[in-house]
Amino acid sequence: MSLKGKVAVVTGGSRGIGRAVCLELARQGADIVLCYAGSEDAAQETAQACEALGVRAMARVCNVADSVQVKALMDEAMAAFGRIDILVNNAGITRDGLAMTMKDEAFDAVIDTNLRGTFLCMRAVSRIMMRQKYGRIINLSSVVGLHGNAGQVNYAASKAGVIGMTKSMAKELATRGVTVNAVAPGFIETDMTAAMADAAKAATLSAIPMGRLGAAEDVARAVAFLAGDEAAYITGQVLAVDGGMSM
């Protein structure tokens, strides 16, 4: 129970990697505040599963791209639990398509959720964590942010941007006991990747040295490591969790 007494806010905790992160942090003893965009039932299920592990948990609807909603989420977390030790910026979307034909809306939606949302949440907790002189921020980037991917110019831009923001925030907060790191998952089996065509999945699989797709729990364990005291001297880093795909 290395995170006992800590309070974690996890965005996009209703499904996939975010849910696995909530459960892993709860297993290690952290109280959980999770947010979601529309999946009310799934979000409440995650919260209940966390409570079953012996911690306090609450799920709230919050569009991370909306600064008013983000501030309300953090205010509610503070009112309920009195501190925010860990922020996991996990909420993310894709709107894939070739750049040549990509609609403005598809570009803007991905940037708004993945990049602006990560910024808004980091900004909202930074004062809290600075006052506490303690904090752990973990941002979900992607191997696509490191290497690019045809058909994902919007997503690649958002995830590369997350890495730039991670390093900038790490420098801003380093003297205050707050670390800021990113994880860059490869191909993880969730709803986000379920829609991929079989041929594309097979091609991706052949590029993974470990020869298997990742599980949400693979990413959750890396996030939990960066959230713990063991990672106290690690900041501004990008940890690839990808079975060797990006080496």
Q: Is 67 exposed, middle or buried (0-12, 13-18, 19+ CB in 10 A)?
A: middle
| Distance in Å, CB of 155 to ligand NAP, minimum | 7
The window from 56-64, 99-107, 146-154, 168-176 that contacts ligand NAP (CB under 6 A) reads 56-64
The window from 10-18, 119-127, 146-154, 202-210 that contacts ligand NAP (CB under 6 A) reads 10-18
| Distance in Å, CB of 21 to ligand NAP, minimum | 9
Residue in the structure block whose two tokens are 């959750």 = 220
Which of 55, 87, 113, 126 is in the footprint of ligand NAP by CB under 6 A? Answer: 113
| Residues from 161 through 190 that contact ligand NAP (CB under 6 A) | 185, 187-188, 190
DSSP E strands in the chain: the ranges are 7-11, 31-36, 57-61, 86-89, 135-140, 178-185, 238-241
Q: How many residues bind ligand NAP (CB under 6 A)?
A: 32
Residue in the structure block whose two tokens are 């801003």 = 172
Residue 243 lies near ligand NAP (rule: CB under 6 A): no
Residue 90 lies near ligand NAP (rule: CB under 6 A): yes
Residue 49 lies near ligand NAP (rule: CB under 6 A): no
CB-based burial, 168-205: b 16+ in 10 Å, e otherwise: ebbeebeeeebbbbbbbbbbbebebbeeeeeeeeeebe
233 catalytic per annotation: no
What the block records as the tokens of 108 is: 């803007």
Which of 32, 47, 59, 65 is in the footprint of ligand NAP by CB under 6 A? Answer: 65
Which of 37, 53, 111, 196 is in the footprint of ligand NAP by CB under 6 A? Answer: 37
Measured from the CB atom, the residue of 38 and 82 that comes closer to ligand NAP is 38
DSSP for 141-174? --HHHHH--TTBHHHHHHHHHHHHHHHHHHHHHG
Residue 36 lies near ligand NAP (rule: CB under 6 A): yes
Q: Is 19 exposed, middle or buried (0-12, 13-18, 19+ CB in 10 A)?
A: buried
Distance CA 113, CA 94 (A): 10
Residue 207 lies near ligand NAP (rule: CB under 6 A): no
- Half-sphere exposure of residue 174: CA atoms within 13 angstroms, side-chain side: 12
Active site residues: 155
Contacting residues toward ligand NAP, per CB under 6 A: 11-12, 14-18, 35-39, 42, 62-65, 90-93, 113, 117, 140, 142, 185, 187-188, 190-193
